[in-house]
């Protein structure tokens, strides 16, 4: 039980964004019953500290340049009033109601985490992420010329990377008996991340392609755990309330729900205090549509569900390492977006 209660590390999402091309995550207790994306209801003993590093890779199903151009043409044919000649002036901006059409190959993120036990039933912590988006491409606008649509092609913005938004959280365990426990999670995300990355022709990227959001977002949720003896069950929910941030953009509220089954395995271990922990999770992420200057962005938001197996090596009372994968079994996205394919996470954690 000492090991079970030693470490609590926040695994909030890299920037709490859970749209198709944003890393997703949750909160977790990386110990004997340790899910990777699901929160546990356990808190740290008073006076205990823990530190951790995690790396997450998410592969998307990117659009080809030809597909992006075809989507732009389809939007123009469906909404010709948004692609008029006056937008061909080099000083004019495209109508903001034109479809937002972009593609990202994959995302890679790193996350530093710290947690501290204020009391046996109250833990607080923070996490600081780094976000890398690979090969950002965007379908440019165009105009109708003599009844024919003249596309401006696809802009290759390269990569977008930088420090993401820092999250602060508190977890209060309000129920605890010999086999089950429950806790309340409250937190917020501060606008500490990079929001001025540029791409093709030094054009500033839209906020959803930046490492940071520029917004103050609130987070609140619940976690519940049930110990069956050889198997630990955990479930958690987390709601993110988004506010307006950089470039007058609101990235949309998010809802994250998780279920996990964990089982310790005491075979093939190099020391008496060492063992393995097998984990299977179901992770759901929903995000509301984005709003930009009061206009709802159709190609944003949606619902994704991952099936996520993982394994963690417990190297004694003070450290553990783990790796998990996930495959998107459900992706119901709004409009035209690069769908998520699979993801991996690696973690290394240490308690003091």
- Domains, in order of start, for the chain: 49-351 (2.40.128.130)
Least confident of 26-30, 89-93, 280-284, 346-350: 26-30
Distance CA 255, CA 219 (A): 10
The continuous run of DSSP H or E covering 107 comes out as strand 106-119
| 214: Cβ contacts below 8 Å, ≥ 6 apart | 191, 193, 195, 207, 245, 246, 247, 249
Residue 23: is its pLDDT beyond 80? no
Per-residue model confidence (pLDDT) at position 58: 96
Q: Which residue intervals of the chain are DSSP H helices?
A: 65-78
pLDDT at 91: 45
* pTM of the predicted model as reported, rounded to 2 decimal places: 0.88
Which pLDDT band holds residue 241 (cuts at 50, 70, 90)? Answer: very high
Residue length of the chain: 352
Half-sphere exposure of 283 (CA within 13 A, CB side): 29
Structure tokens at 345: 């996470």
Q: What is the mean pLDDT of residues 213-218?
A: 97
pLDDT digit string, tens, across residues 187-209: 999 999 999 999 999 999 999 99
3-state secondary structure labels for all residues of 243-269 = CCCHHHEECCCEEEEEEEEEEEECCCC
pLDDT band at 92 (very low <50, low <70, confident <90, very high): low
Report the distance separating Cα 226 and Cα 33, nearest Å.
10
Lowest-pLDDT range of 29-43, 62-76, 101-115, 192-206:
29-43
What local confidence, expressed as pLDDT, does residue 22 receive? 55
Q: pLDDT tens digits, residue range 154-166?
A: 999 999 999 999 9
Q: What is the pLDDT of residues 8-17, one digit of tens each?
A: 333 333 333 4
pLDDT value of position 148: 84
Residue 105: predicted pLDDT = 97
What rounded mean pLDDT belongs to the chain? Answer: 88
Gap between the Cα atoms of 287 and 254, Å rounded: 4
Q: In this predicted structure, what is the pLDDT of residue 18?
A: 42
Please give the pLDDT value at position 5. 36
User: How many Cβ atoms sit within 10 Å of the Cβ of residue 73?
Assistant: 16
Share of the chain above pLDDT 70, in %: 88
Residue whose C-alpha is closest to residue 342's, from 323, 326, 324: 326
> Where is average pLDDT lowest: 7-16, 28-37, 102-111, 321-330?
7-16
Average confidence (pLDDT) over 326-338 = 95
pLDDT tens track for 290-300:
999 999 999 99
What is the model's pLDDT at position 168?
A: 95
Structure tokens at 307: 């099936």
- Mean pLDDT, residues 95-121 taken together: 94
Check residue 235 and give its pLDDT. 96
pLDDT of residue 4 exceeding 70: no
pLDDT band at 2 (very low <50, low <70, confident <90, very high): very low
Bigger pLDDT: 352 vs 61: 61
């Amino acid at each position: 039980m000492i090991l079970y209660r030693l470490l609590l590390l926040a695994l909030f999402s890299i920037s709490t964004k859970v749209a198709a091309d944003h890393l997703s995550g949750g909160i977790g207790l990386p110990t004997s019953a340790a899910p990777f994306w699901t929160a546990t209801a356990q808190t740290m003993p008073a006076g205990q500290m823990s530190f951790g590093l995690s790396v997450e890779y998410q592969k998307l199903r990117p659009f080809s340049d030809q597909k992006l151009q075809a989507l732009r043409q389809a939007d123009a044919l469906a909404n010709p009033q948004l692609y008029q000649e006056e937008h061909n002036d080099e000083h004019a901006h495209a109508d903001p109601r034109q479809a937002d059409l972009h593609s990202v190959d994959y995302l890679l993120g790193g996350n530093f985490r710290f947690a501290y036990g204020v009391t046996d039933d109250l833990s607080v912590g923070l996490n600081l992420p780094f976000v890398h988006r690979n090969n950002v491409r965007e379908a440019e606008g165009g105009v109708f010329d003599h009844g024919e649509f003249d596309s401006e092609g696809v802009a290759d913005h390269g990569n977008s990377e930088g420090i993401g938004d820092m999250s602060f959280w508190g977890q209060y365990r309000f129920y605890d008996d010999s086999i089950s426990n429950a806790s309340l999670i409250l937190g917020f995300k501060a606008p500490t991340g990079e929001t001025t990355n540029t791409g093709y022709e030094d054009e500033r990227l839209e906020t959803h392609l930046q490492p940071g959001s520029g917004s103050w977002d609130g987070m609140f949720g619940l976690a519940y755990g049930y110990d069956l003896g050889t198997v630990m069950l955990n479930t958690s929910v987390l709601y993110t309330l988004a506010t307006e941030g950089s470039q007058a953009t609101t990235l949309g509220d998010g809802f994250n729900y998780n279920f996990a089954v964990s089982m310790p395995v005491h075979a093939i271990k190099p020391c008496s205090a060492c063992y393995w922990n097998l984990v299977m999770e179901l992770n759901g992420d929903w995000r509301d549509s984005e709003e930009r200057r009061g206009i709802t962005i159709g190609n944003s938001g949606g619902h994704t569900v991952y099936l996520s197996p993982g394994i963690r090596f417990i190297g004694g009372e003070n450290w553990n390492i783990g790796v998990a994968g996930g495959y998107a079994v459900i992706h119901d996205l709004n409009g035209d977006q690069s769908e998520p394919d699979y993801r991996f996470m690696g973690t290394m954690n240490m308690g003091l």
